[in-house]
Chains A and B, each alone.
Chain A
Amino acid sequence: MGEGALAAFQDAFAQALLADDVSAEIANAPPEWAALVRHPAFAVYRNTVTRGLVDAIVANHPAVLHLVGDEWLRAAATVYARRHPPGDPSLLRYGDGFDRFLASFPPAADLRYLADVALLDRAWSDAHGARDDPVVDPATIAALAPERLAGATLVPHAAARWHWSDELPIHALWTRSRRGDADLGDLAWRGEGVLVTRPRDAVEWIAVGRAACAFLDACAHGRPLADAAAAASRADRNADLARLMAMLLDAGAFARLVVDAGR
Chain B
Amino acid sequence: MTLSPSAGLSLKPEHYADALAAPADARWFEVHPENYLVDGGPRLAWLGAIRARHPLSLHSVSLSLAADEPPDAGRVARLARLVARFEPAIVSEHLAWSAWRGSYVPDLLPFPRTRAALDRIAANVSIVQDALGRTIAIENPSHYLPVPGHEQDEIAFLSELARRTGCRLLLDVNNVYVSARNLGFAAEAYVDAFPGDDVAEIHLAGHRADPSLGEGLLVDSHDAPVASAVWALYERLIARIGPRPTLVERDDALPGFATLDAERARAQAVLTRANARAPEPVT
> Which B residues lie within 8 Å of A128 (CB)?
38, 41-43
Is B50 in contact with chain A by the CB < 8 A criterion? Answer: no
Check: B106 CB closer than 8 A to any chain A CB: yes
Known contacts A9-B112, A40-B213, A131-B40; decide if A45 and B144 are in contact (CB<8 Å): yes
Alpha-carbon gap, A201 to B106, bound state (A) = 29
| Residues of A with C-beta under 8 A to B97 | 10
A89 touches B107 (CB 8 A): no
Contact of A89 among B43, B67, B75, B112 (CB under 8 A): B75
Whether A158 contacts B109 by the Cβ 8 Å rule is: no
Centre residue among A6, A33, A91 by max chain B CB count within 10 A: A6
Contacts of B106 in A (CB 8 A): 48-49, 52-53, 56, 91
A17 contact set on B, CB distance < 8 A: 105, 107, 109
* Number of chain A residues whose Cβ lies closer than 8 Å to a Cβ of chain B: 50
Residues of A within 8 A of B37 (CB): 88-90, 92
From B145-153, B184-192, B196-204, the one touching the partner chain is B145-153
A8 and chain B: residue at smallest CB distance:
B68
Looking at chain A's contact residues, the main secondary structure is helix
Tell yes or no: B219 within 8 A of A by CB: yes
Q: Which residues from A are CB-within-8-Å of B248?
A: none
Asked if A99 is at the interface (CB within 8 A of a chain B CB), the reply is no
**Residue of B61, B68, B75 touching A6 (CB-CB under 8 A):** B68
Whether B145 pairs with A36 at a CB distance below 8 angstroms is: yes
Residues of A within 8 A of B41 (CB): 127-130, 132, 159, 198, 201
Q: Which residues of B contact A (CB under 8 A)?
A: 34-35, 37-43, 45, 61-62, 67-69, 75, 97-107, 109, 111-112, 114, 116-117, 120, 144-149, 182, 210, 212-213, 217, 219
